[in-house]
Amino acid sequence: MKADQPTPTTWQITMHRGELFAKPSLGVDGRRYRPGDGRRPGTFRISRGTRGIRFDWLQPGGAHSVRLGYRLALFGTAYTDVVDLRVPVWEGDWPVPVRDFTAALHLPRVQHGRIIVWADPRSQQTTITTSRTQIRLAARNVDAETPLTLRAILPRNVLTSVDGVNVETKPGLSAILDERRGDDRAWWPWTLATVAAIALSAVVLRKARSRLPLRR
């Protein structure tokens, strides 16, 4: 096989009953792939996987930047004071380590309040930044087969509805912070004049740069 022969590549998004998926996109080195069978260069295929939604495409050999995008309606837990949202930004089934990784959680509305965000596991080299409409996670040297989760604690008033959300009729912030202190992990609080709101429908964009081995 020639050294530059593309490799059939698969990546899955874990989903649970009731979660919704839409608007998938994929690009390599800035080149946008189009929906197709995933077996022709420049196309990607979306299908049902073993645990959720599956992407298939031909990945060029060598080090490249891969951008995966989609809209995912996420389950969260709404307390009387905050909303606890766990965003699985990276699945633990990529075959090789990822040198540079970024994930952006886009928030469609702006509210006043305070958010707290962190990444699990803490062993990853991560930096989290936030703006009025986005939470952005950057990671270096993500281990192969290591999942990465973004945890976001948002003001309760970000929700316009509790449809599709787990509801707890009690405050939740104190218990969440106690859990974090018990774990002895780093976390990043921001008190903002404006905090981007989420209606449990967020665009998660993942961008990863790594070297994939070629099948021979």
Domain boundary among 73, 89, 122: 73
What tens digit of pLDDT does each residue of 42-67 get? 999 999 999 889 999 999 888 788 88
Rounded to 5 degrees, what are φ and ψ at 183? -80, -15
* Range from 45-54, 99-108, 190-199 that averages highest in pLDDT: 45-54
Confidence of residue 199 (pLDDT cuts 50, 70, 90): very low
pLDDT at 173 over 70: yes
Same domain as 43, residue 92: no
Confidence of residue 171 (pLDDT cuts 50, 70, 90): very high
pLDDT at 10 over 70: yes
Specify burial of residue 29 (Cβ count, 10 A radius: 0-12, 13-18, 19+): exposed
Work out the mean pLDDT of the chain and round it to a whole number.
77
d(CA 37, CA 35): 7
* Residue (of 115, 101, 185) closest to 143 by Cα position: 101
pLDDT at 74: 64
pLDDT at 132 over 80: no
pLDDT at 160: 73
Q: How many CB atoms lie within 10 A of CB 8?
A: 11
Same domain as 90, residue 33: no
Same domain as 167, residue 79: yes
Same domain as 187, residue 155: yes
Mean pLDDT of 94-119: 76
pLDDT at 150 over 50: yes
Same domain as 134, residue 89: yes
pLDDT at 88: 80
Mean pLDDT of 107-134: 77
Same domain as 26, residue 2: yes
Task: Point out which residues pair with 82 in neighbouring strands.
Answer: 155
Pull the structure tokens for residue 10: 């698969």
Q: Examine residue 216 and state whether it is found in any structural domain, yes or no.
A: no
Number of domains composing the chain:
2
Same domain as 168, residue 79: yes
Domain that holds residue 157: 75-210
pLDDT at 34: 97
pLDDT at 115 over 50: yes
More confidently predicted of 196 and 52: 52
Strands 76-78 and 166-167: parallel
Beta strands in 74-124 (DSSP E): 76-78, 82-90, 98-106, 109-120
d(CA 84, CA 158): 11
